[in-house]
Amino acid sequence: MPDSLVVLLDQNIPHVVAIWLRERRPQWVIHHTSEVGLSGKPDEAVFAWAQERQALIITFDEDFADARSFLRSEHFGIVRLKVWPTTVEETQDALARLFSEVQDQELTGALVIIERSRIRVRPRKPSAR
The answer to whether residue 68 scores a pLDDT higher than 70 is no
- On the question of pLDDT at 99 being above 50, the answer is yes
The answer to whether 97 and 90 have CB atoms below 8 angstroms apart is no
Mean pLDDT, to the nearest integer, of 3-28? 95
Would 69 be classed as within a structural domain? yes
92, 15 in Cβ contact below 8 A? Answer: no
**Collapsed DSSP state (helix, strand, coil) of residue 55:** coil
Number of domains in the chain: 1
Q: Which domain holds residue 73?
A: 6-122
Any domain includes 1: no
Task: Establish if 21 belongs to a structural domain.
Answer: yes
Task: Tell me if 19 is assigned to some domain.
Answer: yes
Average pLDDT score, the chain: 89
Domain-located, residue 129:
no
1 pLDDT band, cuts 50/70/90, is very low
| Mean pLDDT (whole number) for 12-36 | 97
Helix (H, G, I), strand (E, B) or coil at 106: helix
Say whether pTM exceeds 0.85.
yes
9-13, 67-71, 78-82: least confident range: 67-71
Is residue 112 situated within a structural domain?
A: yes
Asked whether the bond before 85 is cis by omega within 30 degrees of 0, the reply is yes
